[in-house]
Amino acid sequence: MLKLKCCGLTVDLELLHGDYFRERFREYADGHSGRPDLICVSHLAAELSAPEGKEKRLDPFKKCVTLEDGTICSVSNNPEGETTFIFRVSPDASRAEMWFRENYTYRYSTRTAIEYRYSCNAFCDRLALEGDMVLHGAAIGFRGKGVVFSARPGVGKSTQASLWEKLWPKETVKINEDRPAVCFPGGVPTLCGIPWSGSDPVNRDISLPMGALVLIRRGGVPRIERLRPADVFAPVYRELCVSHYNKRAAEAVYDALGRLLEKTPVYMLDCTMGEETPRLALEAFEKDGIV
Q: Are residues 115 and 164 in the same domain?
A: no
Q: Count CB neighbours of 150 within 10 A.
A: 23
Q: Count CB neighbours of 209 within 10 A.
A: 15
Residues contacting 158, CB < 8 A, separation 6+ = 138, 177, 178, 198, 200
Q: How many domains does the chain have?
A: 2
Model confidence at 200: pLDDT above 90: no
Q: What is the pLDDT of residues 157-166, one digit of tens each?
A: 999 999 999 9
Average pLDDT of the segment spanning 223-234: 91
Q: Residue 199's pLDDT band (boundaries 50, 70, 90)?
A: confident
Q: What is the pLDDT of residues 61-80, one digit of tens each?
A: 999 999 999 999 999 999 99
Q: Are residues 119 and 166 in the same domain?
A: no
Q: Are residues 74 and 115 in the same domain?
A: yes
Q: Are residues 56 and 142 in the same domain?
A: no
Strands 145-150 and 133-134: unpaired
Model confidence at 191: pLDDT above 90: yes
Q: Are residues 95 and 146 in the same domain?
A: no
Q: What is the CATH number of the domain that holds 260?
A: 3.90.228.20
Model confidence at 244: pLDDT above 80: no
- Boundary (domain end) residue, out of 129, 163, 197: 129
Q: Are residues 14 and 84 in the same domain?
A: yes
Mean of per-residue pLDDT scores for the chain: 94
Q: Residue 205's pLDDT band (boundaries 50, 70, 90)?
A: very high
Q: What's the pLDDT score for residue 107?
A: 83
Q: Are residues 121 and 11 in the same domain?
A: yes
- Boundary (domain end) residue, out of 99, 129, 159: 129
Distance between CA atoms of 275 and 291, rounded to whole angstroms? Answer: 19
Q: What's the pLDDT score for residue 100?
A: 98
Q: What's the pLDDT score for residue 93?
A: 96
Q: Are residues 139 and 120 in the same domain?
A: no
Q: Are residues 67 and 118 in the same domain?
A: yes
Q: Are residues 168 and 280 in the same domain?
A: yes
Return contacts of 284-289, CB within 8 angstroms, 24+ apart. 284/224, 284/226, 285/147, 285/211, 285/212, 288/226
Q: What's the pLDDT score for residue 156?
A: 84
Model confidence at 2: pLDDT above 90: yes
Model confidence at 8: pLDDT above 80: yes
Q: Count CB neighbours of 245 within 10 A.
A: 15
- Domain extent for 53: 2-129
For the entire predicted model, the pTM comes to: 0.95
- Boundary (domain end) residue, out of 104, 129, 154: 129
Q: Are residues 248 and 144 in the same domain?
A: yes
Q: Are residues 157 and 231 in the same domain?
A: yes
Give yes or no for a contact between 225 and 121, defined as CB atoms under 8 angstroms apart.
Answer: no
Give yes or no for a contact between 138 and 161, defined as CB atoms under 8 angstroms apart.
Answer: yes
